[in-house]
Amino acid sequence: MAPEATQEDIDNVVELVEAVGGNAFVSRGVSRTIVGIVGDVDDFDALNLGSRNGVLQVMRVSAPYKLVSREHHPARSVIRVGGVPIGPDTLSVIAGPCAVETPEQTLRAARMALEAGASLLRGGAFKPRTSPYSYQGLGEEGLRILAEVREETGLPVVTEVIDPGHVDTVAAYADMLQIGARDMQNFALLQAVGRAGRPVLLKRGFSATVEEWLSSAEYIAQRGNLDIVLCERGIRTFETATRNTLDISAVPVVQRLSHLPVIVDPSHSGGRRDLVLPLTRAAIAAGADGVIVDVHPEPRSARCDGDQALMGPDIRELADAVTILSPLMGRTRVGPAADRVRSHTP
């Protein structure tokens, strides 16, 4: 309450809170009175307490998400994607080209992914691009290429969806639906993937707080889909030396708040090839449940983000980093899933 709040102002707040079934406790000090409120936060929202006479500030103490919260589900979850587990006991590598360009390029990238120790293939068919003049992806043709490469390599497919109207099409081909950073608060899309019956990879918006990120996961969960993997991919800050600033602390912070797995994208956060390996190592050491990395057989002719894709000589180093660091963190590296592909029916 403001210093000038009257007893009537305080009584009024208490009454409002109790009228919607909440409890209000008044703490009175020399220069300030605080009213603690406990109950259903959605009911309290509608009271617009900040507009009431004598109210100085309204602070929320409890989190705005429930289903994804660790408070309601203390054990950390394991999410299975085409049979591959992502969770607290494993270290999963997702790798592949930023954009699917041709069958050959995609197959070669998938083989690089296998060599790097990946258990899942990433690749974009629908690309969200800041400029309308940039390469926008192959669309459904790209999805078909990904499905063929899955047949060939046994790697389940993770691919992005950007339009609620495309969700069914993408879900028909993909093992996991990716929501990109720019779409983290595209609520129509979140609700659509919540109903799609496929696991979801939810990237953090580059200016989203951890709380907003988990609230977006809650949108998906609320539609009945709790198979969500969170992906930290850098936040926007004043620093221009890197494309975004990888918020490495978000890994342990989110693991404490939510039961969902958290992986890291070292390629898009830094935007520079020379940072991918140091950031991959940092992610594993910080406790991430996996990493998602761009690889490309010919980065110099890539249609998208070629400057950050790992090339031939980097692949062995990536595999080594994963192989050596995973056991130190109490994790098993998840290997290529050659046999799992047979039972796969997307």
- Give me the least distance between CB of 232 and a copy of itself, in Å please: 11
The residue whose two tokens read 């790697």 is 155
Q: Which is nearer to a copy of itself, 81 or 230 (CB)?
A: 230
Beta carbons within 10 angstroms of residue 338's beta carbon: 11
The residue whose two tokens read 């996961």 is 217
Residue 88: alpha-carbon gap to chain centroid: 16
Burial 248-272, CB ≥16 within 10 A → b, else e: bebbeebbebbbbbbbbbbbbbbee
Q: Which is nearer to a copy of itself, 154 or 270 (CB)?
A: 270
Length of the chain counted residue by residue: 346
Indicate the angle between helix axes 103-115 and 312-328, nearest 10 degrees: 40
Joined together, the tokens standing for residue 183 give 């779409």
Q: Which is nearer to a copy of itself, 51 or 345 (CB)?
A: 51
Q: Which is nearer to a copy of itself, 239 or 339 (CB)?
A: 239
- Give me the least distance between CB of 75 and a copy of itself, in Å please: 15
Q: Which is nearer to a copy of itself, 219 or 337 (CB)?
A: 219
- Give me the least distance between CB of 123 and a copy of itself, in Å please: 18
Indicate the angle between helix axes 187-194 and 210-222, nearest 10 degrees: 40
- Give me the least distance between CB of 253 and a copy of itself, in Å please: 5
β-pairing verdict for 120-122 and 157-160: parallel
Q: Which is nearer to a copy of itself, 273 or 344 (CB)?
A: 273
Instruction: Please state, in angstroms and rounded to a whole number, the distance separating the CA atoms of residues 131 and 123.
Output: 20
- Give me the least distance between CB of 158 and a copy of itself, in Å please: 20
**Would the CA dihedral through 124, 125, 129, 134 be positive or negative?**
positive
- Give me the least distance between CB of 227 and a copy of itself, in Å please: 17
Determine the 3-state secondary structure of 5 from DSSP. Answer: coil
- Give me the least distance between CB of 343 and a copy of itself, in Å please: 34
Q: Which is nearer to a copy of itself, 103 or 128 (CB)?
A: 128
Q: Which is nearer to a copy of itself, 103 or 164 (CB)?
A: 164
- Give me the least distance between CB of 287 and a copy of itself, in Å please: 5
User: What contacts 130, CB < 8 A, 6 or more positions away?
Assistant: none
CA distances from 198 to 22, 66, 135, 219 (A): 38, 21, 27, 15
